[in-house]
Amino acid sequence: MEKTHIETIIVGAGPAGTTCGYVLKKNNHDCLIIDRKDFPRDKLCGGGLTPKAHILVDKIFEGIKYDYYSVNTIDMFSQKKYICSYTLDTELRTVTRREFDNVLLREYEKSGGRKITDTVVKIEENEDKIHVTLLSGKKLSCNFLIGADGANSIVRRYLQPEFKKGIVCLEKTVEDISIRNMQVYFDKKFKNGYLYVFPNTNGYVVGYGDKRTNLQTFDKSLKEHNLMSENKTKGAYIPMFDNIDYPFRKDIILIGDAGGYADSMTGEGIYFAVKSGQNAALSIVHSQNFKLLNEDVINVIRKRKKMSELFFFAPVHGLFVYLCKKPKWLIRINRKVNQALSI
């Protein structure tokens, strides 16, 4: 008969959930991942892996292989004008999330992990167990519940019914391989955000999100920069500007987007999903306090939220654009900011 009690149930098989499951299985810990989608599944995302993200993924999932496109240069624009190109010390990688997330899930399964396709619709507790009800009608129980179920998390809603989901980001995929550098466009039209073009192996994705994202601004910007495509515009939430103000519990842990771990400056979330997933697993394996173990992640997310408010404050942003015309200064300042605001 199928087991109905599992030590740890992980809701969500994105990078946060699969990393957590992988680290638990490597430490011989009993766990199960539940995701509402069959994999491979689509996930709206620029697919940008910063150096710290791909270095961490390669370190945790030893020997992992996945397809990526390597980018070294970012072209920056402000108010429709080209301002500078920024060359990185270490490559950025872009991946297709459909394939990348599936590779991480296979790594988890290779380590002995199990995933079922079902949707968690209800969470309840009695004195010593957490119970989850699935859309199929199945009921399971666990000692630890991990919310890795993204920006619209049911686990987060259980801990904090009125939480704010973050900001909406719009994106289009374009099958055109003529653009090979990353592009970032700043504009007064965007409030605390930017338009990005991330090239990948099939073409590029173009997207935008800010505190008041809307379709008209997106369409207008695409026309202005000649980035139009017939493909459908899609939207999804990123938990930027999250206050991480839910109760931290020993037995119910939020990771990745569910925990609000996305960079408010850039929208980067994959690194924080992987890192918080690893920390959650280690906190269970070593009976350590997750909030303490994940403190560096929480601090960086909070600092980058403050930094983002400052960065888009008009005089500071004007100074940034001015410095972009002096790339040596820009590189120096960027290194300093990254040192101060990294883990």
Positions touching ligand FAD (CB under 6 A) are: 11-17, 34-37, 43-48, 119-120, 148-150, 154, 169, 171, 207, 236, 238, 256-258, 262, 267-271, 273
Phi, psi of 275 (to 5 degrees): -65, -45
Compare residues 189 and 275 and give the one whose CB is closer to ligand FAD: 275
Q: How far is the CB of 295 from ligand FAD (least distance, A)?
A: 19
> What's the DSSP call for residue 36?
S
Residues linked to residue 132 through DSSP beta bridges, in sequence order: 123, 140
Q: Which two tokens stand for residue 149?
A: 């179920």
Q: How far is the CB of 116 from ligand FAD (least distance, A)?
A: 9
Q: How far is the CB of 14 from ligand FAD (least distance, A)?
A: 2
Compare residues 5 and 122 and give the one whose CB is closer to ligand FAD: 122
Compare residues 14 and 199 and give the one whose CB is closer to ligand FAD: 14
Q: Closest residue to ligand FAD, Cβ-based? A: 269
State the Cα–Cα distance between residues 4 and 112, nearest whole angstrom.
18
State the Cα–Cα distance between residues 29 and 22, nearest whole angstrom.
10
Q: How far is the CB of 27 from ligand FAD (least distance, A)?
A: 20
In contact, 196 and 184? CB cutoff 8 Å: yes
Compare residues 170 and 330 and give the one whose CB is closer to ligand FAD: 170
State the Cα–Cα distance between residues 62 and 57, nearest whole angstrom.
8
Compare residues 102 and 111 and give the one whose CB is closer to ligand FAD: 102
State the Cα–Cα distance between residues 83 and 143, nearest whole angstrom.
54
Looking at this protein, which amino acid is placed at residue 64? Answer: I
What CA–CA distances, in Å, run from 167 to 21, 59, 82, 183, 243? 28, 31, 27, 21, 13
Residues linked to residue 261 through DSSP beta bridges, in sequence order: none
Q: How far is the CB of 326 from ligand FAD (least distance, A)?
A: 27
In contact, 41 and 284? CB cutoff 8 Å: no
In 205-248, which residue ranges form alpha helices assigned H by DSSP? 215-224
Compare residues 47 and 83 and give the one whose CB is closer to ligand FAD: 47
Compare residues 43 and 317 and give the one whose CB is closer to ligand FAD: 43
Q: How far is the CB of 110 from ligand FAD (least distance, A)?
A: 19
Q: How far is the CB of 273 from ligand FAD (least distance, A)?
A: 4
